[in-house]
């Protein structure tokens, strides 16, 4: 999914890698409660409004890392270089000798623990060699511009566009490797004219000018699938969404610090009120094989970036990420995250393409989640040419833009509901596999499902949340009137029958398989049927 310059890497003896990489976790933050009580001190108003709208709690993870701690770690005597920081994890990413890094635990009482990227230096936990994740993303200039319609029609995003749902009001952060010429090329003129290019930051070079790095235009191509607009030739899936651009990928090297940069960008996205993150990046193997992840580490909870993606999801952000270009070798991180929407690839005919990373039983949730066109996808490069590229790097933004347009149509739905509507609309929702996941979504169907499932009431009967996970809340008019609840699957088979004996009751439905169900209530002469999504 990303191009790595392999020059001379094979000539470096591992002994030359004496400097180690590690995460240093702190045990405290300052002014936590005061910051939570006055969130405008640590978050933008847009972020506060988004969290309030969707019931996302502002907590200690939103409070910044104590800069005084970082200053102490940077002192020359420590021998430590600080490269990145994370407020969500209350940690910094550092480089230094093994001894110097280990000494931090004893030298500073605010250091809770140290976790080396080389797991051999840690008490037992994780870890495998290097791949070119952009290798299959070849480029050929083409002139048949009308073919761009296929990748939008495939997921029925055009049906949303016809209803004027084009991503307006939705903020997307694009985390990638380079955004060459986005600030002046014609394909993004409409984006700039509408004030929808909100800014960005280069976390690799630590500069505000995210366009200064011109060594890779992968982010430019990715952005085009969402925001590109060339009249009569090319339209992205969310041309009227707003965008932040963050460079987190260093194409010249392959080290875990890129995971730390990614989490920093996700944290900033959250503080800026971003709704969706698109990440056409993936991580598994590094130049130093001791830093690499083994297949069993892609379990949705081990990789630093995966844990960051899960927190972003907890913060109410939809994280849309490429499944990967590794085929049978499986998904990378953060595509393994239960909280992320991992997007695989199909060709123009909707057929699985062999490079698209396959999920496995190692992941705790279905991976990939869904698929979009990633074979010979039409994109726009930094020369303003419409070209064909291969890769899940491009199926991901196609889907991210489509989701933005869907969310615009459903402003009262939260991030988990939106994701479930997309899954339910997909072509093989009832029979997912490790190749296509739940299949190719139909975003108009997703919208129809959502509209049919908006909260219903009758005679004070209420059922929530819907979609539901493990617990379903039931409210009935009176505890004195016996109410019978039955839940049926789509084939009409009864999966649960329950007598409601209290006016307000919680039901454990954790044993019910994910899917669409029908709930039937009978209470005296009153009866009502609900549709229920089990997520």
Domain boundaries, the chain: 15-121, 140-451, 462-534
Phi, then psi, of 307 in degrees rounded to 5: -65, -35
C-alpha 459/C-alpha 449 separation (Å) is: 24
Phi, then psi, of 384 in degrees rounded to 5: 70, 25
What's the pLDDT score for residue 146?
63
Neighbours of 291 (CB within 10 A): 23
pLDDT tens, per residue, the chain with 535 residues: 433 322 333 333 443 347 999 999 999 999 999 999 999 999 999 999 999 888 898 999 999 999 999 999 999 999 999 999 999 999 999 999 999 999 999 999 999 999 999 999 987 643 343 445 555 555 543 323 366 789 999 999 998 998 889 999 999 999 999 999 999 999 999 999 999 999 999 999 999 999 999 999 999 999 999 999 998 899 999 999 999 999 999 999 999 999 999 999 999 999 999 999 999 999 999 999 999 999 999 999 999 999 999 999 999 999 999 999 999 999 999 999 999 999 999 999 999 999 999 999 999 999 999 999 999 999 999 999 999 999 999 999 999 999 999 999 999 899 999 999 999 999 999 899 999 999 999 999 999 888 877 544 334 567 777 778 888 887 776 555 677 888 887 677 888 888 877 767 788 898 888 887 888 877 666 667 777 888 7
CATH hierarchy code of domain 140-451: 3.40.50.200
Structure tokens at 16: 């030359």
CA distances from 137 to 369, 387, 400 (A): 22, 11, 19
What's the pLDDT score for residue 131?
47
What's the pLDDT score for residue 470?
84
Phi, then psi, of 280 in degrees rounded to 5: -95, 50
Beta strands in 269-346 (DSSP E): 276-279, 318-322, 340-346
Q: Which CATH number fits domain 15-121: 1.10.3470, 3.30.70, 1.25.40, 3.60.70?
A: 3.30.70
Phi, then psi, of 344 in degrees rounded to 5: -90, -175
What's the pLDDT score for residue 141?
37
What's the pLDDT score for residue 134?
54
C-alpha 272/C-alpha 338 separation (Å) is: 23
CATH 3.30.310.50: does it fit domain 462-534? no
Structure tokens at 10: 């094979």
C-alpha 62/C-alpha 326 separation (Å) is: 35
Contact 330, 357 (CB under 8 A): yes
Contact 497, 484 (CB under 8 A): yes
C-alpha 225/C-alpha 260 separation (Å) is: 26
Residues 6+ apart with CB under 8 A from 247: 176, 177, 178, 179, 200, 201, 202, 203, 204, 205, 210, 213, 219
Burial 491-511 (b: 16+ CB within 10 A, else e): eeeeebeeebeeeebebebee
- DSSP string over 129-142: ----TTTT---EE-
Q: Cα torsion at 419, 422, 424, 428 (round to 10°)?
A: -120
Burial 265-277 (b: 16+ CB within 10 A, else e): bbbbbbbbbbbbb
Residue found under tokens 């021998």: 79
Strands 471-475 and 504-508: antiparallel
**CA 473 to chain CA centroid, nearest Å:** 28
Residue found under tokens 């909280």: 339
**CA 26 to chain CA centroid, nearest Å:** 26
Beta strands in 75-170 (DSSP E): 81-86, 91-96, 111-116, 140-141
Which phi-psi region, left, alpha or beta, contains residue 156 (left: φ > 0; alpha: ψ -120 to 50)? left
Query: What is the Cβ-side half-sphere exposure of residue 135, based on CA atoms within 13 angstroms?
Result: 11
Strands 504-508 and 494-500: unpaired
What's the pLDDT score for residue 63?
96
Phi, then psi, of 497 in degrees rounded to 5: -135, 130
């Amino acid at each position: 999914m990303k191009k790595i310059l392999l020059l001379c890497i094979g000539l470096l003896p591992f002994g030359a890698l004496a400097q180690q990489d590690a995460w240093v976790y702190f045990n405290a933050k300052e002014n936590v409660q005061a910051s939570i009580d006055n969130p405008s001190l640590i978050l933008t108003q847009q972020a506060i409004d988004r969290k309030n709208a969707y019931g996302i709690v502002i907590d200690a993870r939103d409070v910044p890392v104590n800069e005084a701690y970082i200053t102490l770690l940077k002192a020359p005597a420590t021998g430590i270089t600080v490269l990145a920081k994370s407020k969500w994890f209350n940690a910094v990413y550092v480089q230094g000798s093994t001894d110097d890094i280990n000494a931090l635990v004893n030298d500073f009482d605010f250091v809770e623990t140290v976790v080396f990227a080389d797991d051999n230096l840690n008490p037992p936990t994780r870890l495998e060699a290097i791949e070119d994740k952009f290798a299959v993303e070849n480029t050929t200039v083409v002139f048949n511009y009308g073919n761009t319609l296929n990748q939008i029609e495939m997921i029925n995003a055009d049906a949303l566009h016809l209803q004027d749902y084009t991503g307006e009001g939705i903020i997307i952060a694009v985390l990638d490797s380079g955004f060459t010429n986005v600030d002046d090329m014609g394909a993004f003129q409409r984006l700039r004219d509408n004030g929808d290019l909100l800014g960005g930051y280069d976390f690799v070079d630590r500069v505000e000018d995210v366009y200064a790095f011109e060594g890779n235009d992968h982010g430019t191509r990715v952005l085009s699938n969402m925001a590109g607009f060339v009249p009569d030739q090319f339209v992205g899936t969310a041309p009227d969404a707003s965008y932040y651009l963050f460079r987190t990928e260093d194409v010249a090297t392959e080290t875990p610090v890129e995971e730390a940069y990614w989490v920093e960008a996700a944290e900033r996205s959250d503080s800026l009120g971003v709704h969706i993150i698109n990440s056409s990046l993936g991580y598994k193997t590094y130049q130093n094989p001791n830093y690499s992840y083994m297949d069993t580490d892609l379990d949705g909870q081990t990789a630093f970036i995966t844990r960051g993606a899960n927190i972003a999801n907890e913060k109410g952000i939809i994280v849309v990420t490429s499944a990967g270009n590794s085929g049978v070798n499986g998904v990378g991180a953060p595509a393994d995250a239960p909280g992320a929407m991992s997007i695989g690839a199909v060709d123009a005919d909707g057929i699985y393409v062999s490079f698209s990373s396959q999920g496995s039983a190692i992941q705790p949730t279905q991976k990939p989640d869904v698929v979009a066109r990633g074979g010979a996808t039409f994109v726009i490069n930094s020369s303003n040419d419409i070209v064909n590229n291969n890769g899940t790097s491009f199926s991901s933004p196609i889907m991210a833009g489509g989701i933005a347009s869907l969310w615009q149509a459903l402003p009262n739905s939260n991030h988990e509901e939106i994701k479930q509507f997309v899954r339910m609309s997909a072509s093989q929702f009832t029979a997912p596999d490790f190749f296509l996941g739940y299949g190719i979504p139909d975003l108009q169907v997703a919208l129809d499902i959502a509209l049919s499932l908006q909260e219903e009431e009758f005679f004070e009967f209420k059922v929530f949340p819907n979609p539901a996970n493990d617990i379903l809340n039931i409210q009935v008019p009176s505890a004195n009137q016996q109410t019978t609840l039955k839940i049926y699957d789509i084939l009409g088979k009864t999966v649960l029958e329950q007598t409601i004996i209290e006016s307000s009751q919680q039901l454990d439905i954790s044993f019910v398989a994910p899917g669409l169900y029908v709930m039937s209530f009978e209470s005296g002469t009153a009866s009502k049927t609900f549709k229920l999504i089990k997520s």
